[in-house]
Structure 1
Amino acid sequence: MRSSPYIAGVLLMLTLGLLNRPKVPAMLILLAAGFGIALFDKPELLSQLHDIKPEFVIPPFEWQALTLNDLWLGLILLALPQLPLTFGNAFISIIEENNHLFPDRPIKERTVALSTGLMNVWSSLIGGIPMCHGAGGMAGHIQFGARTGGSSIILGCILLVAGVVLPSSISTIFQLFPSSVLGVILFFAGLQLALGSRDTSSEKADRFIVLATAGLAVWNVGIAVLFGILVHYLAKRGLLEI
């Protein structure tokens, strides 16, 4: 957000207003705004997008290139240091978050462990990166309106098609997502995660104001104060639903 503070500030307030209207797709509007900002900042991006050509590429089998040294280094330098974070964020937290938000659709530790293991085995097979069911990802989906696993399926299909059909154009496509827009999305996802899954109440609104103001103060104290006053005003008049 610091890369374009004025744009990020406007998008922050716009998103705050859109999130109070469940029928309005805040995420799609944010992404559309991001596309417009990216094309305005980089006019040459339009011609680069026009030159994109689909090409079907099947990921190669990568296990045959692995050596015992690779496995040893991966265990010592990657797996063990990552274990505490993954165990907390992608195992304990995701189970608690899901079961609190969706008590009618609970998940078990065994299910999450097996799912995480299987998808990482498959990912490594074709040269992919490690993956997990992160609590932050679910918080972001919930904050912007997702209520079923269909959101993850839609996202997965889009990424799968992009990786298989547009592998050499990914870097160009990623330029359509300015860092200021991504910052706003992550800001609200982080707030949702920090707030916890409490019922809508004045306490939750107060927690939102405190956390949001503190987070913005790291970026700009003046803007944080103005934001806190404005949001407090909206909450007191029942115009803010979190």
Structure 2
Amino acid sequence: MPEGAGTTAEPEQKLRNRFDRYEVAGAFGDLGTLIPFVIGYIMVTRIDPLGILFTFGIMLICSGLYYKTPIPVQPMKAIGSAAITQVSAVTPGMVWGAGLFTGVFWLAMGLTGMLDSISKFISKPVVRGIVLGLGLSFILQGIRMMQSDLIVALIALAITFMLLTSRRVPAMFVLIIIGVVAALIKNPGLYYELSGIRFDFQLPHFVLGQVTWQDFIKGALVLGIAQVPLTFGNAVIAITAENNRLFPERPVTEKKIAISQGILNLFSPLFGGVPMCHGAGGMAGHVRFGARTGGSLIILGIFLLTVALCFSSSVLLLFNIFPSSVLGVILFFAGLELAVTARDVGREKSDYYTLLVTAGFAAWNMGAGFVAGIVMQELIKRKVFKV
């Protein structure tokens, strides 16, 4: 683990963003989630990469400057999955409409104080179960991605385990090198394809005028509503718990995170971006590979902003550098980082029952996990079940 992680350094030192090699390495710890969704939106839903990467870049920089901890900005997974898999029924306007609905919903939830009441009702085993379930789903998804090139994945996995605590060589740097070399060996024609990358400066377009009321309503009903329980579990409850566990000197509240996500999603659709959230898995990825401040988000934001403004016509070529097998390794370690946090759930047998029921359902569906955990918590509390 890099120097400074888990230490008792002075608060004023921790509140400053850093830009050392660990922050650079940690900046790319969430690529396992980011790249597949961005590629899906571009290739399947036909959304302009300029708008997607521009809005991600701006919001990552803002998140890093404001929070000063690695609170990530990720694609919303339920909306992204539905948009990519239901391509015949989903249009870019519906995606932007879903983003606007999501922004209004979470801004209202945060400003009205409704989240405070809900959060007080949720026990620690339920929170840890949501995080554990998310971690397990990341591990399984990472393994599935690694199977695309198992030999490369196993080499990358072994080297990453050996370098996880290295203070000299951040594991992410080695992973990127392995990924690039593997991609070029597997596809020698990639040399010539990459030579087609060209500087092409463009400014984003204001697309709000292209979103109709029909887009907004369809986007909310088809895409947005299904995202709500996932966002509540992963990107409100879990991210708040993770941030406050890892960075107690810089705590956040569910209310603040909800308002922040509302702002993200009211801004993103204006310039052709996609629905975003502060997912706990992204923080785990950033932290696992070295990030300890918001500097990692600023670095990633500047990178994405540069690609958006100067190389948006070559985005798919650039992303070909990162093989799915290596992205799977990144996702696998982000899952491990999340899953191990469940170790402090408590000492009572009932705590473990609630944890495992929540995690089991959450690994399948985050919303279902949240509901199952609350039900189990209340049944045990009211002594309907005795474990």
Structure-2-length-normalised TM-score: 0.50
Percent sequence identity over aligned pairs: 51
CA contact (8 A) 1:100 1:197 kept: no
**Letter in structure 2 aligned against 1:67:** T
2:317 alignment counterpart: 172
SS at match of 2:277: coil
Q: Deviations over 1:144-203 (max 9, x none)?
A: 11111111111111111111111110000111000110111110101111111769xxxx
Contact 1:91–1:112 (Cα < 8 Å) also in 2: yes
**Which has the higher mean CA deviation after the structures are superposed, 44-53 or 122-131?**
44-53
CA distance in 1 between counterparts of 2:152 and 2:252 reads 40
What residue number does 1:72 align with? 217
Q: How does 1:43-62 map to 2 (within 5 A)?
A: 43-62=188-207
- For 1:27, the equivalent position in structure 2 comes to 172
AA paired with 1:86? T
Shift of 1:64: 0.3
Deviation at 1:22, TM superposition (A): 3.0
2-structure distance, mates of 1:197, 1:58: 44
**Matching residue within 293, 301, 305 for 1:156:** 301
Change (3 A) 1:123 1:176: same
SS in 1 for 2:322: coil
* CA deviation vs aligned residue, 1:192-239 (integer Å, no higher than 9, x gap): 11111769xxxxxxxxxxxxxxxxxxxxxxxxxxxxxxxxxxxxxxxx
* Equivalent-residue separation in structure 1 for 2:161 and 2:211 (angstroms): 48
Could you tell me which runs of 5 or more consecutive residues in structure 1 were left unpaired when the two chains were aligned: 200-242
* Equivalent residue number for residue 215 of structure 1: none
User: Equivalents in 2 of 1:78, 1:22: separation in Å?
Assistant: 43
Does 1:127 pair with 2:272?
Answer: yes
CA distance in 1, matches of 2:285, 2:342: 13
> Partner of 1:186 in structure 2?
331
One-letter amino acid of the structure 2 residue matched with residue 11 of structure 1 = A
Larger RCO (CA under 8 A, 6+ residues apart): 2
2:247 maps to what in 1? Answer: 102
Please give the alpha-carbon distance, in whole angstroms, between the structure 1 residues aligned to 2:205 and 2:228: 28
Tell me which amino acid in the other structure corresponds to 1:18: L
Residue 91 (structure 1) aligns with: 236
Trace 1:8-27 onto structure 2 (pairs within 5 A).
8-27=153-172
> 1:40 aligned to 185, 188, 197, which one?
185
- Give secondary structure in 2 for the equivalent of 1:171: helix
How many aligned positions are there? 199
Q: Which runs of 5+ in 2 are unaligned?
A: 1-145, 345-387
Post-superposition offset of 1:51:
2.4
Q: Distance in 1 between matches of 2:342 and 2:246?
A: 6
SS at match of 1:3: helix
Name the CA distance, whole Å, in 2 between partners of 1:115 and 1:28. 31
Asked if the contact 1:19–1:144 (Cα under 8 Å) also holds between the matched residues in 2, the reply is yes
Q: CA deviation at 1:115?
A: 1.4
Structure 1 stretches of 4+ moved >6 Å:
none
Give the AA of the match of 2:273: G
SS across alignment from 1:51? coil
Equivalent-residue separation in structure 2 for 1:93 and 1:172 (angstroms): 34
Shift of 1:23: 2.8
> Could you tell me which residue of structure 2 aligns to residue 145 of structure 1?
290
Tell me the alpha carbon deviations over residues 111-170 of structure 1, each in whole angstroms, 9 at most, x when there is no partner. 212211111111100111111111000000111111111111111111111111111100
